[in-house]
Amino acid sequence: MQMADIFEPVDQNFKRMLLQRSRSGHAIENVSAKKKGGKCFPCQIISVEFTGENHIKKAISTLVDRREGIRNQKDIDVRREKQADTEMVLAQSKSDAILNRLVALEHKLDSEISAKEQLQSTADFKDIAFKNELANEIKGKENEIANAVTDAKELERTDLGMELHDNVNQLLVASRLYLEIARKNNAKREMYLDRSSEYIMTAIEEIRKLAKGLVNDAVKNLGFCASIEDMAHDIMEVHPMKIFCSMDAAVHTPVNAKFNLAVFRIVQEQLNNIIKHANASEVKIDLAQNKGHIVLSISDNGSGFDIKKKTPGIGIQNIKSRAESFQGNARFVSSPGKGCVLTVLFPVEKSKG
């Protein structure tokens, strides 16, 4: 079959694949392919171009049928929607139960006040104690809901990591193609072996990022200080950037596991923002505790941005949301060409809940 028998020449994705392959020698793209009967189906093409004997240009291409993957993704989306609906129903049921209990407690309080309003000191004391009990119960239920939301987010991250893991397979397929070409082409064997090695290293880095980004056992066991230093070491191995950590390890001892994880995720998110956007060569991470606050500071010497003009992205919103879950305050100070400083203040008493 000729290319025109398999692909539509007007397909923009197919054109983009040809252009990318002509520029770099290889390309990966999602396109539509035709069966012999003319029916189209979605697929992914991995194509490598090389020069064979007598200087004749040749190409090796692999087509992967995406229909089952698309159906699987739809099934996953449907399951997630059902799970979300179930969680909403459970949350609503829990909220209704709490509301009913609060109403019952309020009625009970009214009855007790009416029955004992003649008693002076004893009645006043019981009234205050009962109100304190009610306030503590409401606060406890609010903490339970907040913890359930945090647990759900972490579960979603783990599921997402398992699904993303399959993408590494495409990198390994491309690497294998280069190895096959290198075996047949002695003249350019080293070049194709180098390209194969690049794909393998990319796949290894993707797996490392997934593992470091989604597994939180190290944070629970070692604390955020040791985990942050470990993460900084891994980043410096693959990026031309120096990360300096100055953290008081004693901060880890009195705080709870969820606060540990929240601080770790904030540092992780900001380092990811710096790597993607700042083009920084140096980053400094400081963590300390004063009388009333735990203070986290992350500064870089990168390109910075105009806070007044830039619309906060999902990364910045995630940082602020995680800080607010412990009644913290996240503040960014930056301007074009002058780097960025992120400062987060957490009340000490909220870190021990």
Residues 139 and 160 placed together within one structural domain of the fold: yes
| Confidence band for 109, pLDDT divided at 50, 70 and 90 | confident
Contact present, 195 and 178 (Cβ < 8 Å): yes
The least confident of 120-129, 150-159, 342-351 is 150-159
pLDDT at 342: 96
Helix (H), strand (E) counts: the chain: 10, 8
Same domain? 100 vs 181: yes
State the pTM of this model: 0.46
Domain limits for position 119 = 68-215
Dihedral sign, Cα of residue 301, residue 277, residue 155, residue 229: negative
Q: What pLDDT digit, counting tens, does each position of 60-91 carry?
A: 888 888 888 888 878 887 888 788 777 776 76
pLDDT for 262 equals 85
Give yes or no: residues 177 and 111 share one domain.
yes
Q: What is the mean pLDDT of residues 190-200?
A: 86
Please state, as a whole number, how many other Cβ atoms lie within 10 Å of the Cβ of residue 344. 25
Q: How high does pLDDT run on average in the chain?
A: 80
Q: Look at residues 162, 182, 215 and tell me which one is the last residue of a structural domain.
A: 215
pLDDT score recorded for residue 120: 64
pLDDT digits (tens, 9 = 90+) for 270-324: 998 898 889 999 999 999 988 889 999 999 999 998 888 766 677 788 888 889 9
239 plus 276 within the same structural domain:
yes
Where among 196, 215, 234 does a domain terminate?
A: 215
Same domain, 210 and 223: no
For residue 213, count other CB atoms closer than 10 A to its CB: 17
Same domain, 52 and 99: no
Lowest mean pLDDT among 106-120, 171-185, 266-280: 106-120
CATH value at residue 250: 3.30.565.10
Residue 153 has pLDDT above 70, yes or no: no
Looking at the structure, do residues 42 and 128 belong to the same domain, yes or no?
Answer: no
| Parallel/antiparallel/unpaired status of strands 329-334 and 340-347 | antiparallel
Whether residue 184 sits in one domain with residue 91: yes
Choose the final residue of a domain: 11, 34, 65: 65
Residue 56 and residue 78 in one domain: no
Q: What is the pLDDT of residue 214?
A: 55
Same domain membership, residue 223 and residue 171: no
The whole-number average pLDDT for the span 195-211 is: 77
> Is the backbone of residue 339 left (phi > 0), alpha (psi -120 to 50) or beta?
left
Query: Is residue 160 over pLDDT 60?
Result: no
* Model pLDDT, residue 161: 57
Q: Are residues 208 and 238 in the same domain?
A: no
The reported pLDDT for the residue numbered 242 is 94
Number of domains in the chain: 3
Examine the domain organization and report whether 295 and 239 are in the same domain: yes
What are the contacts of 37-42 at 24+ separation with CB within 8 A? 40/8, 41/65, 41/66, 41/67, 42/66, 42/67, 42/70
Question: Per residue in 43-58, pLDDT tens?
Answer: 988 888 888 777 788 8
